[in-house]
Structure 1
Amino acid sequence: MRRRALTAFLTAASALIAAPVFAKEEAQAPANPPRLIIALSVDQLSADLFSQYRRHFTGGLKRLQDGAVFPSAYQGHAATETCPGHSTLLTGVRPARNGIIANNWFDLSLTRADKRVYCSEDVTDPESSANNPVVSPRFLKVPTLGEWMKRQWPGSRNVAVSGKDRAVMMMGGHQIDEGYWWKGAGFTSFRGTALSPAAVAENGAIAKMIARGGKAFAAPAWCAPRDRAVTVGKDAIGTGRFPAPAKDSVAFSRSPRLDAATFALASRLFDDMKLGRGNAPDVLSVSLSATDYVGHAVGNEGVEMCIQLDQLDRAMGAFFARLDKSKVDYAVMLTADHGGVDAVERLDQQALPRAVRVDPALSPSALGKAIAAQLGITGIEPLVYGDGPFGDMYLSRALTPAQRGLALDALVAKLRAHPQVAAAFAAGELSATPTPSGNPQDWTLRDRARASFDPGRSGDVVVLLDRAVAPIASPAKGYTATHGSPWDYDRRVPLMFWRKGMNGFEQPAPVETVDIAPTLAALLKLKVPDGSFDGRCLDLDGAEGNTCQ
C-alpha cells in the first residue's frame, strides 16, 4: 500500500514539474509595426565588458537579454571613436560613405588658424571652432532612420538625447524635432532653439541635485574583486565611488548620475510629446555617455566601472517601466559606438605585459620635426598635422610637389619601421582598396582602415597602432585609458533588440552595426531605396517567421 502511494506521489510530482514546461504558451511576436523605436547606445560598452557582467544585471540590461542578442556586433571600421561609431547606428552606412571619419580631422584649406575640424561642427559659422563648435550635423552625408521615417510619414517625430552633442547629431541627423545634449550644468540644444518645457523641468531638477551634492555610490557585492587600487602616473584608480560635492557639476556629469539624468529627460520628452501615440511611428534615440567618461578616467576593470554598469542597468530598468505604463507598443535596440581597453598599468598586472603607452616620437609634431630634419626642409611648421599618434595624419600644403612626395615616403617608412605601429597606409593605397565585405572579424587591417576612409576628408596617411599600445603617452587625472584602435576590443560591441512578445534568441555569428538601420526599417515596414544601406536586415522573429520580409 505504501509502495503504491509512493509511486502515485512520484508520478504526480513528476507531472507537476514537467507541466509548466509543456503547458507554457509560446510568445507571439506582434504582427503590426511598433509605434515607437527606442534606439539606445551605451558609449564604450564593449562586447567584452557586456559579456563580463551580463549575468549580474537585474534591470533593463537583463530584460534586453530576453530578446534577440548578437554578442558579436562590429563597428567594422578602424576609427573606433564616438562620432564614427554613432554615425553607423541609424544610417546603416559606414564612415567611408557617410563622411564621419573621426571625432576630429583636419581641413588645411580653412582660412582660420586652427585647421582641426570637429565632426559635429558648422565650419561655415565664423564663431565656430573645433574646441567651441557651433553644433551641427552638416558633415553627415546620408539620412538617418528618423529622416527616412519622416519622408514616408511626415507626422513622425525624430527625438535624440545624449550626454554628447555628436551622438545626438549622428543618431538624429539633419531633421531632428527635439535634440538635447549635456553642456556645463544641464542640457542644451541647437543655437537659437528655445528649450522645451521638458528640458527646462529636467534642468531645474538637475540644478537642485548639483546644489546639494550626492553621496558616494555603494558597490554591489559582485564588484568586490575589482575593488583594488592601481597606480597610474601620480594617481591611483580602481577604488572610486563617485561622490559629488555640492555645486560640483563636473563630478555630477562624470558619474552614473549623467545617465540617470539623460533617461529622465528622455522620459519627460516621451510624456510631453506623447511619443508613440501620434498618427505615425516615432523614434527616440538615447545615447548614454557615462560609461565612456568612466572608462577614460579610470579604465574599465576597476570597481568604478562595476558601479557604473550596475547603475546604468537600474536606470534603464526604471526607464522601461515608465514606458510600460503608457501601454505604447515600443521596440528597443541597444548597442555601442565602440569598445575600449583598460589602463595599461592594470593590464600589465592582468596577463598582458605587452601593454604599453605610446612612444611620444609618434606624435604628429615629433614626426614632422624628424622628417624635416631628415629631408632638410626648413620654414614649415607644422609639417605634419594630426589629432594624436594614430589615425589620420596630413602633410602641410606649404610643401612643394617634390617635397611632398619625399615627405610622404619618409613618413610612411618611419611609421612602418616603428615597433609600436601595426600598419601605416598612404591615401593612395586606401583609395585603391575595394570596399570590404564578408565577416568583419576576418577583415585585414587595410580593410578596416578602408571602411573609414573618405578621400575628401581622410589624411595623407592613416596610422594603426599595434595591439595594446595605448595612444596616451602620459596619463593624467581623468584620462588614463581610451579607444580608437582597429582591434576587436574596440570594434566588437553587443547588439540587442527587444519587443514585448517577441521570440528571443542568441546569435553569436558576427554582424555589423550598419545592420541596425535596415533591420529597424524592415520592422517598421519602412520603404527605403535599394542601396541606401551598407548593412543587411537581421531577421528578429526567432522562429519560422521573417521580420525582413
Structure 2
Amino acid sequence: MTIARPVATFAAAALAAAAALAVPAAAQPPSRPKLVVAISVDQFSADLFQQYRQHFDGGLHRLSEGVVFPAGYQGHNATETCPGHSTILTGSRPSRTGIIANNWFNLRVAREDKNVYCSEDPRIPGSTHSNYTVSPYHLRVPALGDHMKRADPRARVAVVAGKDRAAIMMGGYAPDQRWWWDSRASAFVNPGAAVPQPVAAANAELQDVLSRPRAARSLPKVCEAHSRAVPLVGGTRSVGDNRLGREENDKDGFRASPDFDRAVLDLGAALRRDMRLGQGEATDLLILGLSATDYVGHSFGNQGAEMCIQLMGLDDALGAFFRDLDATGIDYLVMLTADHGGHDVPERNRQHAIPDAVRVDPALNAGTPQRPGPMGERLAAALKLARAPLYGDGPFGDMYVDPALPAAQRKRVLDAAVRAYRAHPQVEAVFTAAELRAAPAPQGAPDHWSLLERAKASFDPERSGDFIVLLKPRVTPISEPGPGYAATHGSPWDYDRRVPILFWRKGLVPFEQPLAVETADILPTLAAIIGVPILPGTIDGRCLDLDEGEASSCVR
C-alpha cells in the first residue's frame, strides 16, 4: 500500500461555507477544558463494556464513574470501521458523511479496480483498493477539529490511530499532526509530513519491540472462566485459550494485543507533550484510535480469554495514560466510545445457548463480473447473460448491477437478484435504492428504528448500491474462518450497533443515562462545552446535557 500525505484542498470549499454560515461565538462560559481527549476503541461494544465493567480498575473504571451513556448507538446498518469513525466527531450519519462502508464500488470510474476504499484518494494515478494514497477525499463534512480551528485558529489538533481510516475520519481535513500505524512499514506513518521527534522515537522503539518475541501473558483471575478452546468449523484451529504471546516480527500478533493500544497511547502522550497541547490560549484536541480490540475480536471472537486479556490490558494502559495527564495539572475532558460492536464466533455462540448462530452460506456471495461469486454466476445462467451481472463485496451489504447492461436488462437483473436474495433463508431484508431514496430519514431514538430506517441512515444516492442485503441476526458473514478472521461485525443488529459513550472531567458530577443516544450526538456535546458554534441543520446529532443539575452544558 503506497501512502502519501493527505490531500486537504478539496475541503476548502466546505470549510469556507461553514465559516460563512457560522453563527457568532457566544460569550465564553465560566470554564472550558483546555484539552479534549477523544478516544475510539474499535469493536468495543456496549455488551463488552457491561460484561467487564465491574472488573475494571484502571482507566475504564475512571470513565465508568463519569457521565455514562451505556446505550450509545451507531444507528446505521453498515456497522464497519470507516462509517462508524465518520460519525464520532462529525455529528453526522453515513448518509451525510458519505462514508457508507469501508469500501464500495464506483462503476463510473475508468480504472479496472472499481472497488473504492473509504480513505483513498482516487484522483491519484494508479490508485487501487489495496494500493492507495491516504486522504480524507471521500469525507463530505468537517470534523470537530475543523470546527475548532475555524472558531479559533490557535486551536491545535493531533491524531494517532491504529488504522488509517480511524485517523482520517476522526481527524477531519487538516489536523496539525496525524499519524497511523502501517503494518507493512512496521511504523506510524504520514508520508510527506515532517517526522517529529516523538514519532521517530516511537518507531525506533517499536522496531525493537517487534524484533523480539513476546511471552504468553499471565491469565488474570477474571479471565480464567473464559479460557477454553473452541474448535472452529473445518477443525483447523480453535479459539478461546490463546494468551496473546507472539514470535519475533509477528506484526499480526502485535496488532491483536494490548501492546498495540499502549503504543498508540504512548505516542499520543508524547505528541501532547511535544506540542504542549492543553497549555495554550485555546482548547486543543487529542484524538486516539485504539484498534487492538478489533483485531482480537476478528481473530478470536469476543468471549474467550483473548478478549478478556485485551480488555484488562486496555484498562491498565488507559489508567497509565490518564495518570500521566493528571500530573500535568491540565484541565482536560475525555470522551470514549466505539465505532461499532461485534459478534462472537458462531461455534461458541451455539455452545452458549444460541443454537441458531451460523456461518453464512457462500452461495450468497455476489462477486464481480471479473471474479464472479455463486450468486452472480446463478443469475448469469438464469438470465442467459454472457457474464455475471453483479458487483458485491461478499454475501451482504451494497450490491450493484453491471452498468454495461442495457437498461431493460439491468431491470431484469435487479428484479431477479432481489427475488433471489429475499428467498434465501439467511436473508432478513433486501431494500432497493428506489425504496431507500423514498424512505424518510430516521426519527426518534435509534433503538426504535426499523430496518429500513437503519439502512436509510447509511444510504448515499451517489455511492450506495442498486440494492442492499441485510442478513438475519446471528448469521456471521464469514463462511470459512481463517487466521485473523474468525468473527466480525457489520450487521444492522444491536450487538453491532450499540456502543458505550463515556465522558469524564475532574469535577464533573457523575450520572448514568440508560436510554438510547447516538454517536452523532458527541460532536454537538463537545462543541457546546468548548464554545464552538455549529450551524443548526448541518449535522444529525443533538447536544447531550452533561450537567447533572438544573443548568445545561448545552447552553452557551
Corresponding residue number in structure 2 for 1:46: 45
What code does the residue aligned with 1:261 have?
A: A
User: Is the 1:59–1:316 contact (alpha carbons within 8 Å) kept by the matching residues of 2?
Assistant: yes
State the distance in 2 between where 1:486 and 1:400 align: 33
Find the counterpart in structure 2 of residue 544 from structure 1. Answer: 550
Paired with 2:97 and 2:295, the residues of 1 have a C-alpha distance of: 26
Amino acid paired to 2:80: E
Residue 470 of structure 2 aligns to a residue whose secondary structure is strand
For 2:377, give the aligned amino acid.
K
Asked if the contact 1:86–1:337 (Cα under 8 Å) also holds between the matched residues in 2, the reply is: yes
Residue 22 of structure 2 is matched in structure 1 by none
| Aligned residue number for residue 321 of structure 1 | 323
Structure 2 counterpart of 1:266: 268
What amino acid maps onto 1:434 in structure 2? P
For residues 377 and 253 of structure 2, the distance between their equivalents in structure 1, rounded to whole angstroms, comes to 39
Q: Secondary structure at the match of 2:78?
A: coil
Tell whether 2:385 aligns with 1:377: yes
Q: Is the 8 A contact 1:219 1:306 kept in 2?
A: no
Q: Secondary structure at the match of 1:207?
A: helix
Q: How many Å separate the matches in 1 of 2:491 and 2:151?
A: 38
CA offset at residue 525 of structure 1?
A: 1.1
User: What is the aligned partner in structure 2 of residue 215 from structure 1?
Assistant: 215
1:120 maps to 119
2:135 counterpart residue number: 136
Q: What per-residue deviation string (whole Å, max 9, x for no partner) do you get for residues 347-384 of structure 1?
A: 01001010111111100022111111111112x3x411
1:123-202 superposed matches below 5 A? 123-184=122-183, 185-202=185-202
> Does structure 2 retain, via aligned residues, the 8 Å contact 1:371–1:407?
yes
CA contact (8 A) 1:35 1:282 kept: yes
Does 2:469 match 1:463?
yes
Residues 1:368 and 2:376 are matched in the alignment: yes
Structure-1 separation of matches of 2:161 and 2:214: 22
Measure how far apart 1:243 and its partner are. Answer: 1.1
Query: C-alpha displacement at 1:265, in angstroms?
Result: 0.5
Q: Whose Rg is larger?
A: 1
Whole-Å separation in 1 of the counterparts to 2:423 and 2:250? 47
SS in 1 for 2:327: helix
Q: Distance in 2 between matches of 1:45 and 1:176?
A: 25
Give the counterpart letter for 2:200 in structure 1.
Answer: V
Higher mean C-alpha displacement, 472-481 vs 451-460: 472-481
- Measured in 2, the distance between the counterparts of 1:129 and 1:212 equals 34
The aligned residue for residue 206 of structure 1 is 206
Counterparts of 1:537 and 1:48, CA distance in 2: 24
1:31-70 paired onto structure 2 within 5 Å: 31-70=30-69
Q: Distance in 2 between matches of 1:63 and 1:187?
A: 30
In the aligned structure 2, how far is the partner of 1:190 from the partner of 1:483?
28
Comparing 57-66 with 201-210, greater Cα deviation is found at 201-210
Q: State the SS of the aligned residue for 2:504.
A: strand
| In the alignment, structure 1 residue 489 sits paired with structure 2 residue 491 | no
CA distance in 2, matches of 1:199, 1:191: 12
Q: For residue 456 of structure 1, report the CA deviation from its aligned partner.
A: 0.2
Q: Is the 8 A contact 1:60 1:313 kept in 2?
A: yes
Residue 216 of structure 1: how far off its partner (Å): 1.5
Question: Percent identity, aligned pairs only?
Answer: 54
Q: Distance in 2 between matches of 1:127 and 1:264?
A: 35
The correspondence of residues 329-348 of structure 1 with structure 2, limited to 5 A, is 329-348=331-350
Cα offset, 1:229, TM superposition: 0.3
* 1:105/1:458 contact within 8 Å kept: yes
Question: For residues 383 and 211 of structure 2, what CA distance do their matches in structure 1 show?
Answer: 58
> 1: CA distance between counterparts of 2:421 and 2:254?
41
Contact 2:182 2:189 in 1 (8 A): no
| Contact 2:439-2:453 within 8 A present in 1 as well | yes
The reply on whether 1:499 has 2:505 as its aligned counterpart is: yes
The one-letter amino acid paired with 2:478 is I
Match of 2:531 in 1: 525
CA contact (8 A) 2:180 2:190 kept: no
Amino acid across the alignment from 1:66 = E
**Aligned amino acid, residue 339 of structure 1:** G
The structural deviation recorded for 1:386 is 1.1
1:328-350 alpha-carbon deviations (Å, 9 max, x no partner): 11100000000001000000100
C-alpha displacement at 1:166, in angstroms?
0.1
Instruction: Give the deviation of 1:214 after TM superposition.
Output: 1.8
1:480 to 483, 486, 494: 486
Task: Give 3-state SS (helix, strand or coil) of 2:545's partner.
Answer: coil
State which drifts further: 272-281 or 337-346.
Answer: 272-281
**Aligned mates of 2:289, 2:30 — CA distance in 1:** 28
Secondary structure class of the residue paired with 1:63: helix
* Structure 2 contact 187–206 (Cα < 8 Å) conserved: no
Aligned to 1:19: none
Unpaired runs of at least 5, structure 2: 1-28, 367-372
Structure 1 residue aligned with 2:72 = 73
Q: CA deviation at 1:246?
A: 2.3
Task: Give, in whole Å, the separation in 2 of the partners of 1:391 and 1:351.
Answer: 28
Shift of 1:187: 3.3
- What is the TM-score normalised by the length of structure 1? 0.93
- Aligned to 2:502, what secondary structure does the other structure show? strand
Counterpart CA distance in 2 for 1:248 and 1:351 is: 35
For the 8 Å contact 2:77–2:457, the answer to whether it is kept is: yes
Contact kept in structure 1, 2:256 and 2:293, CA below 8 Å: no
Once the two structures are TM-superposed, the CA of residue 437 in structure 1 deviates from its matched residue by 0.9
Q: Are 1:299 and 2:307 counterparts? A: no
Identify the residue that residue 423 of structure 1 maps to in structure 2: 429
* Cα distance in 2 between the residues matched to 1:119 and 1:173: 13
Q: What is the CA distance between 1:80 and its match in structure 2?
A: 0.1
Q: Which amino acid aligns with 1:342?
A: D
1:438 maps to which of 444, 449, 461: 444
Q: Do the aligned residues in 2 keep the contact of 1:67 with 1:504 (CA within 8 Å)?
A: yes
CA distance in 2: counterparts of 1:37 and 1:472, whole angstroms: 38
Amino acid at match of 1:221: K
Q: Separation in 1 of the partners of 2:213 and 2:278?
A: 35
Find the aligned partners of 1:191 and 1:317 in 2 and give their Cα distance.
Answer: 31
Query: How many equivalent pairs are there?
Result: 518
Distance 1:299 1:453 in 2: 29
| d(CA) in 1 for partners of 2:404, 2:550 | 63
The letter for the 2-side match of 1:146 is: G
Q: Structure 1 pair 279/186, CA: closer, same or farther in 2 (3 Å)?
A: farther
Cα shift at 1:212: 2.4
CA distance in 1, matches of 2:315, 2:186: 22
1:112 deviates by 1.5
Preserved contact between residue 199 and residue 265 of structure 1 (Cα < 8 Å): yes
Aligned residue number for residue 14 of structure 1: none
Partner of 1:89: 88
Residue 353, structure 1, aligned to residue 355, structure 2: yes
Partner SS state of residue 354, structure 1:
coil
**Contact residue 72 and residue 492 of structure 1 kept, 8 A:** yes
* Matched position secondary structure for 1:326: coil
Partner SS state of residue 283, structure 1: strand
How is 1:409-420 mapped onto 2 (pairs within 5 angstroms)? 409-420=415-426
Between stretches 360-369 and 444-453, larger displacement belongs to 360-369
Of 446, 450, 475, 2:456 maps to 450
Q: Which residue of 1 aligns with 2:98?
A: 99
Moved more, 307-316 or 251-260: 251-260
CA distance in structure 2 between the partners assigned to 1:80 and 1:120 by the alignment: 16
